[in-house]
Structure 1
């Protein structure tokens, strides 16, 4: 990656150690072509429960996605026990396929909201962009028993997007997790292919560009609104809350790009508008980009030795939170999934070097924190990144050791 840490290749990163021993395959591609893709992960501390979601597809193609599936993980006798895969039969609309799971947990009502999109038939994203005719719907289901049972589907498309949909060639949520900010606002990351210019009177799209945005709720998920768009070309995204030393919130967006580097943006209005966006020079993208995951975490309490180092250093931490980011580290193809740490997330060049969590073909991923530990749900394999979806536990110290190193 390029940046203040110098140039490096994934081969120069430390080999994973704890990650490999804790790895659990949760979904595996079958010989008949059935494939599981697009992982999403949350941990609910109230119920000490992991929820992992994925798309079940009849083939690897996006157009052959069918339904969403879930597995529940809970600690038993010192290890994690995983329930069998459950088909989310209510997470669908007639004659539509369900895609892009995006869960968020609302703490006050103890409700899991699982957002997703429903797309008519086998209509591809490319077809929608080319014709300017959106075929996607914004939907969610809920659970109040930590994912054991689920509600019927709610279609928000008309009430939340409304007439604006005429300017949307297509859209999607996430994929990956949403967040609840400290003020209670629920954030669902999303992106839209916006029609900036069309040929009148045929309404044929002439200029369609992707933009990251969010949907949000300030009343525990009863009603939802549409946030502002990131102005730079930006696609699949996740968001995290950064708290500065004045206790002000900054909503951080990390988005996929086809320009060789990730797009980062900040909002001081909790997603109503994004004022600052730029290319993250230290976070590269393979050709055409890839989804990535971002997670905020409280700055860990320093040890006595760390306190001495801090007192001898002229710099001061500028936030009460750090950021973790997970993404393939190879610049040309989806390989060598790495976890990056940013100890100064309001600094555009604050990312350290990555810790490799999977060496080899890697794709989409999602991060979560559980108690003092961390976990990643990732697409990975030996020959292809779509061979399986695996769950890996790791420690912050694993990432810090790699992040603090400097390339020679």
Structure 2
């Protein structure tokens, strides 16, 4: 379960990650698995599977990102004590998760041992975190060079008599971890305040001013649609989140994916567009939404486009891609029924008159 997909343009390589589980339950996660795919024209040549394990812990929530400056791939995840469920952590107020990552400098063929950066990145605030996780999905490198990993925590706002955590006062909040020195040291940004926000993805956008970059956060929320928030300091702090009714969710929410890319030629004045992929109804049929950012975090509700990428049910989904001229190249991985995974490459073409057409390159 829990897919994540990373595309390395320089190597024309897809890296597909997921959790190996003995059942669908989170506490039955075992370890992370990786499969590499080399792109050859319209097809992808699949390589053997690789596993990331840690004795005594379950590795969960894959969240890869690529540092194009050094050519390093970072695979972030959480390592959770065996036998400690999320519910157990929420009631005890004691996190059993550790923030870890492995790196690869050869396109995902070989990986370093896991490095634990929990104390470095979270510090004393860990005592107020009942538990936490990264992503799931992907991280990004900003134009400034900053590396950003989306995350969320169950933050303990109150304790009874200053000791016992109150589950009713423990709420989810999104945030990001970041590094400004190519991954040598890691820090955390402030929690997204206001309404509950959980699993999230981030993308760098420019709004209507190409000289003022912002970080756009799309988070899982409990009210039937995504919550979105903006940061003008690239993740240090986010503005209060707002509900985005255009981006609907299944009743209890679901993993969603968002990537940004330069607007196609001839598409208007908005410098940045977003590709959003997510199941939108209770049956979790999985389309992709392509929309323009016109005014900060407002999607153009009149001109967003649905592309049905596959008619199967999609339990969890993640996308990655880039822009070439008037074409959006996207790779997609999603979790289907009966524990099966699906993947494909899709090509969406801007028609120059306000619309997109899509076709599947390979299923």
Relative to the length of structure 1, the TM-score reads: 0.81
Does the 8 A contact of 2:5 with 2:64 survive in 1?
Answer: yes
> Is 1:133–2:94 an aligned residue pair?
yes
Shift of 1:358: 2.2
Distance in 2, matches of 1:350 and 1:223, equals 38
> Is 1:208–2:164 an aligned residue pair?
no
Residue number in structure 1 paired with 2:331: 375
Per-residue CA deviation, residues 331-368 of structure 1 (Å, 9 max, x unaligned), is xx242101011212525242424222122321211111
2:48 partner SS: coil
Does the 8 A contact of 1:335 with 1:359 survive in 2?
Answer: no
Distance in 2, matches of 1:396 and 1:235, equals 29
Distance in 2, matches of 1:80 and 1:398, equals 24
Distance in 2, matches of 1:135 and 1:274, equals 27
Per-residue CA deviation, residues 71-98 of structure 1 (Å, 9 max, x unaligned), is 1111347621000211124xx3x31100
Per-residue CA deviation, residues 124-183 of structure 1 (Å, 9 max, x unaligned), is 112211221211100000000000000011001111111100000100000001000000
Per-residue CA deviation, residues 56-113 of structure 1 (Å, 9 max, x unaligned), is 0111111110011101111347621000211124xx3x31100000000011111000
The 5-angstrom pairing of residues 152-231 of structure 1 reads 152-206=113-167, 207-231=169-193
Per-residue CA deviation, residues 14-72 of structure 1 (Å, 9 max, x unaligned), is xxxxxxxxxxxxxxxxxxxxxxx111011111212111100001111111100111011
Report runs of 4+ in structure 1 exceeding 6 Å deviation.
none
> Is 1:360–2:312 an aligned residue pair?
yes
Residue number in structure 2 paired with 1:236: 199
Distance in 2, matches of 1:160 and 1:75, equals 35
Distance in 2, matches of 1:109 and 1:192, equals 30
Distance in 2, matches of 1:237 and 1:214, equals 9
Distance in 2, matches of 1:193 and 1:402, equals 40
**What RMSD over aligned residues (CA atoms) do the two structures have, in Å?**
1.9
Structure-2 change in CA distance of 1:321 and 1:138 (3 Å)? same
Residue number in structure 1 paired with 2:361: none
Residue number in structure 2 paired with 1:50: 14
Query: Mean Cα displacement is larger for which, 121-130 or 131-140?
Result: 121-130
Structure-2 change in CA distance of 1:322 and 1:76 (3 Å)? closer
Structure-2 change in CA distance of 1:323 and 1:78 (3 Å)? closer
Given the alignment, which residue of 327, 352, 356 partners 1:401?
356
Does the 8 A contact of 1:133 with 1:170 survive in 2?
Answer: yes
Q: Which has the larger radius of gyration?
A: 1
Structure-2 change in CA distance of 1:202 and 1:54 (3 Å)? same
Per-residue CA deviation, residues 276-321 of structure 1 (Å, 9 max, x unaligned), is 410001112212111100010111112xxx6xxxxxxxxx52x311
Ranked by relative contact order (alpha carbons within 8 Å, sequence separation 6 or more), the top structure is: 1
1:343 partner SS: strand
Distance in 2, matches of 1:80 and 1:61, equals 31
Distance in 2, matches of 1:348 and 1:59, equals 39
The 5-angstrom pairing of residues 268-307 of structure 1 reads 268-302=232-266
Query: Mean Cα displacement is larger for which, 392-401 or 122-131?
Result: 392-401
Given the alignment, which residue of 325, 333, 343 partners 2:292?
343
Structure-2 change in CA distance of 1:322 and 1:143 (3 Å)? same
Does the 8 A contact of 2:210 with 2:271 survive in 1?
Answer: no
| Structure 2 residues without counterparts, runs of 5 or longer | 359-363
Does the 8 A contact of 1:327 with 1:363 survive in 2?
Answer: no
Does the 8 A contact of 1:336 with 1:357 survive in 2?
Answer: no
The 5-angstrom pairing of residues 255-270 of structure 1 reads 255-270=219-234
Residue number in structure 2 paired with 1:392: 344
Structure-2 change in CA distance of 1:46 and 1:260 (3 Å)? same
> Is 1:329–2:280 an aligned residue pair?
yes
Does the 8 A contact of 2:216 with 2:297 survive in 1?
Answer: no
1:189 partner SS: strand
Does the 8 A contact of 2:13 with 2:38 survive in 1?
Answer: yes
Does the 8 A contact of 2:14 with 2:39 survive in 1?
Answer: no
